[in-house]
Chain A
Amino acid sequence: MNIKLPPTVNSQILSVGSYRPKHIVANSEIAERIDSSDEWIQQRTGIQSRRIAGEDETVITMAQAACEMALKRAKLTMADVDTLILATITYPFQAPSAASELINVLGNPKAAAFDISAACAGFCYGVAMASDLVRAGSSKRVLVVGVEKLSEFTDPDDRATAFIFADGAGAVLIGPSEQARIGPVAWGSDADSRDAILMNPAYTDFRNSPDKGVTELGWPHISQQGQTVYRWAVFTVSKIGVKALELAGVRADELGAFIPHQANMRIIESMAKEIKIPSSVIIADDIRVNGNTSAASIPLAMDILLETHPELHGSLALMIGYGAGLVYAAQVVQLPPLP
């Protein structure tokens, strides 16, 4: 007895879309509260400003805008999409998933939909899964959206993080292709360093200590050990980037762009040095004006790169996501064609 399977196909990124919140917040608006300065923040992170979502800009509305832009550029509608993968750590409900709400507002409540929790690696995890779903024939077209409203889960008095995190959404549409246009993923975890990035307290802490509440326990917020994360990103995760290049059989000088997670400009520059990215390759630096938007940062950076460097359409890019877990994922992709 043989089980019937669809033939395997190749996969590609058909289009990208993004959403940047309207409100721009300069370093000077944050610096005083944490006894810092614009110069200090720029020197440590490269961040000049970031976008912070208003009350009407939610995880769902931002993700919807990014997905609709990606669909429009591919000249497709939500009826052509059978699967949606949403990466976030800032949707304020445990269930149902943000993905299920999103397919409903996008107009295809019958699509397969689920969230993944892989923090700043979430987008690359999603692309890996979407590519394999298409390749195996489980899905025809998959929307992968990374979206964060980190401003809701950032402590404005934390001198280590208050100036880093920001909001936004980015999406790619992945579908079948004649040629392979998404490389194999290099991924994994360093969960023995789990404490390096945490979101605390837990929901249950509020129930267990009703006398304390938010005033004493603090609202759930992300804290991180900056030096540990920097060391891990530059000297461990860079090797994953090299591995992704090897798996795809692509040399660094064949890349058009390097699009790592926009965590910190110093990490990005040191990573590029470790991976030996040549000067001919354009390095994404969206963090300067957009801050660290976790799962949304790579598609946001991809979209702005294609806008400012249209010649990059159709060229190869190395993407590396890494973050709380600690988890990481990297792959080489061919950037989508001009819409």
Chain B
Amino acid sequence: MALAQADVLAGLKEIVEEVAGIPGASVELDKNFTDDLEVDSLSMVEVVVAAEERFGVKIPDEAVTDLVTVGDAVNFIVNAAK
């Protein structure tokens, strides 16, 4: 099932807010999870698992380290859902 980039970003905003307590409004494509949003490595795992459930995709452990920015995560999910 194809997913629109805007829908994935909106979903990720909600997930990051719920998991890490970071206001969704600050979750933008160019934001770095670690440096800008202060999502640490363990919270990142929770974001990834929540994203898998929400978007019906698989994000393997080895891919998680490549998801540096919110844009990386959005692109990975959009591609994985194709």
Contact = CB atoms under 8 A, between A and B. Distances in A.
Nearest to A227: B45
Contacts of A266: 42
A236 to B, nearest CB: 11
A279 B14 CA distance: 26
Contact of A231 (B40, B45, B65): B45
Q: What does DSSP make chain A's interface, helix, strand, loop or mixed?
A: helix
B42 A227 contact: yes
A227 B45 CA distance: 6
Interface string A28-66: 000000000000000110000000000000000000000
A230 B40 contact: no
Contacts of A230: 42, 45
A270 interface: yes
A226 B46 contact: no
B65 to A, nearest CB: 8
Interface string A249-275: 000000000000000101000100000
B44 A227 contact: yes
Interface in A12-39: none
Given A235-B49, A270-B46, A227 B41 contact: yes
Interface centre among B42, B48, B65 (most CB of A within 10 A): B42
Given A235-B49, A270-B46, A227 B40 contact: no
A43 B41 CA distance: 11
A270 B61 CA distance: 18
Contacts of A44: 40-42
Contacts of B44: 227
A235 B46 CA distance: 9
Interface in A232-258: 234-235
B22 interface: no
Contacts of B42: 44, 226-227, 230, 264, 266
B64 interface: yes
A228 interface: yes
Closest 3 CB pairs of A and B: A228-B61, A231-B45, A230-B45
Given A227-B64, A231-B45, 19 more contacts: A44-B40, A44-B41, A44-B42, A225-B61, A226-B41, A226-B42, A227-B44, A227-B61, A227-B65, A228-B61, A230-B42, A230-B45, A231-B48, A231-B49, A231-B61, A234-B46, A264-B42, A266-B42, A270-B46
